[in-house]
Amino acid sequence: MDGLSTFSARLEGIKKADDERAAFLEEVIKAYDELKLKFDERTDDYNNEVASRRLWQSKASQSEQALAQHKQASASKNFVVALIDGDGAIFQDWLYSLGRGEGGAEAAHQLHTALQNHLKEIYPDQNVADWEIVAQVVLNLSGLAKKLHDSGIISNPNELHAFGRAFGLAQPLFSFVDVGNGKERADHKIRETLRLYLPIAQCKHVFFGPCSDNGYLPVLESYRRDLSMASRITLIETRPAEAGFVTLGLRRIKLDLVFRTDNLPSKTVPVFSPTPASTPARTPSASQASGAPLTQHVSKPASPAPSSDSTSSAAAASGSWASVGKNGAKSKTINIASDPKPKRRFILVNAHDERVDPELPKFDPGAEGRYTERVKAKGKCCNNLYLTGKCPAGKYCDYVHTEKLTPGEILVLKHKARSRSCQQKSWCEDVDCTFGHHCKFGRSCHLDYCYFSDTHGMDTQPAKRKFEDGGEEWLPQYLKGAA
């Protein structure tokens, strides 16, 4: 029995060892499975990393190529912008004295040269000669023209228009930008143009002037703490800079050869000259100056030589020839009087050669109603055909040509055509133009959105007739008022 107990104990020990071995093997197998799972995950991660690295290497290569191309392109298209508030930065008097065309061209040349010299000082290590210079002079053209004329700097406000055209033609990237009446118009355009150009990498520098309008301080204040922006801005100082511009700490320059350094002189009284130098020689007579109508004096043709034939003499005296035959022959009369000259067509202009529309008579409300109904039923009538008698488009015109309008309806059509603004505004010289060229209410206009707002300060008193053939004739009533 003792031996049996011993064997049983030994058998129990063997079974326990087998259980432990089986548990160990299960543990080993489980650990292997976990290790294999981790290995597979790491393998997948590795393969993903390899694929990702190759992808990013390809993208990096493409980006480097694109960057190189961008650098090459940007290096060849660098430019500089000069934004000038033309109402505050006024060109020197000597530039205006050179004449309409020559003065504007010389102003553009002087400004371009001065800016290029300053660029060489600011960027001594770069080839600034290859940089284009874009200059915009933003101003109220008619307002400044009037100031210059009142100050005696220019003899006619029209000279500033010619000055601006020559300024833009002399340098292809220079321009006069007329924004019309209203201070905020120029300020808004200049501020938005500055915001457009500064972030552009090819825009290497911005010249901003003048420094006499505190309205620009808020937009410049936002750039003063950004060194990358502030280093690319230079202020053009014409008249002494306001304190706010000084505290900005931005670079300031003066272009004394180009812009005035002081205010315009006080208003002078111009000497009235009824016959400008450019007007064809035609001196008003004393009777014309006193208000008598201007007339053309045509030399009277010489009378034909007297004849011994009484009938011939009588015929000559009456301005016709009569052939008289014997035995009561029939007589034939031939009129040799010269044909009347065609009436010279003209437009009316004021003393500054700006077109003035003659006032139209009031139309009949009944005629307006009939015309409105006609338009609803048949369509809009052609202004060219009904108001000038001819339409260049002919059968290809989009408007009605077949309706018969009464004189009252024609007057309504004239009023409607006059309400549309001519593209040439007050500088239009087309005698057949049916559009309006200035606001009929002038300074008394209170419309919020008037198409003629830039002409509200215009002189609407007719001073001359400007004929289609280029001739001019001063109106006697204007000369009488100026006397």
Average pLDDT on 229-235 reads 92
Q: What is the arrangement of strands in the sheet containing 174-178, beginning at the earlier edge strand?
A: 174-178, 132-139, 79-85, 203-209, 233-237, 251-254
The residue assigned the tokens 């298209």 is 77
Q: 214, 230, 254 — which closes off a domain?
A: 254
Instruction: Judge if 250 and 351 occupy the same domain.
Output: no
- Distance, CA of 425 to CA of 459 (rounded, Å): 14
- Establish if 425 belongs to a structural domain: yes
Query: What's the confidence (pLDDT) of residue 208?
Result: 92
Q: In 3D, which of 482, 454, 462 has the Cα closest to residue 144? A: 454
Query: What's the confidence (pLDDT) of residue 336?
Result: 59
Q: In 3D, which of 154, 172, 176 has the Cα closest to residue 89? A: 176
Which residue has better confidence, 279 or 431? 431
Asked whether residue 233 carries a pLDDT value surpassing 70, the answer given is: yes
Segment 353-399, tens digit of pLDDT: 889 999 999 999 999 999 999 999 989 999 999 999 889 888 889 89
Instruction: Judge if 243 and 380 occupy the same domain.
Output: no
- Distance, CA of 216 to CA of 212 (rounded, Å): 9
Instruction: Judge if 385 and 248 occupy the same domain.
Output: no
- Establish if 341 belongs to a structural domain: no
Asked whether residue 285 carries a pLDDT value surpassing 60, the answer given is: no
- Establish if 195 belongs to a structural domain: yes
- Collapsing DSSP to helix, strand or coil, 51 comes out as helix
Instruction: Judge if 103 and 225 occupy the same domain.
Output: yes
Q: 254, 277, 298 — which closes off a domain?
A: 254
Average pLDDT on 81-109 reads 90
> What residues make up the domain containing 415?
346-482
- Collapsing DSSP to helix, strand or coil, 444 comes out as helix
Query: What's the confidence (pLDDT) of residue 74?
Result: 63
- Establish if 13 belongs to a structural domain: no
- Establish if 123 belongs to a structural domain: yes
Asked whether residue 72 carries a pLDDT value surpassing 80, the answer given is: no
| Element housing 174 (H / E) | strand 174-178
Tokens, residue 170: 């002399």
Instruction: Judge if 247 and 375 occupy the same domain.
Output: no
Q: What pTM value is reported for the model? A: 0.47
| Element housing 5 (H / E) | helix 2-76
- Establish if 407 belongs to a structural domain: yes
Instruction: Judge if 241 and 363 occupy the same domain.
Output: no
Query: What's the confidence (pLDDT) of residue 479?
Result: 83
Query: What's the confidence (pLDDT) of residue 264?
Result: 83
**The total number of structural domains that make up the chain:** 2
Distances (CA, A) of 197 to 47, 68, 202: 47, 23, 9
Distances (CA, A) of 279 to 120, 225, 296, 466: 48, 58, 17, 10
Residue 7, by phi and psi: left (phi above 0), alpha (psi -120 to 50) or beta? alpha
Q: What is the DSSP string of 62-128?
A: HHHHHHHHHHHHHHHS-EEEEEEETTTS-B-HHHHHT-HHHHHHHHHHHHHHHHHHHHHHH-TTS-G
Query: What's the confidence (pLDDT) of residue 455?
Result: 85
- Establish if 336 belongs to a structural domain: no
Instruction: Judge if 109 and 249 occupy the same domain.
Output: yes
Exposure string (b/e) for 345-372, b if CB count within 10 Å is 16 or more?
ebbbbbbbbbbbbeeeeebeeebbebbe
- Establish if 323 belongs to a structural domain: no
Give the CB-side neighbour count of residue 196, counting CA atoms within 13 A. 9
Q: 198, 221, 254 — which closes off a domain?
A: 254
Asked whether residue 326 carries a pLDDT value surpassing 50, the answer given is: no
Instruction: Judge if 236 and 92 occupy the same domain.
Output: yes
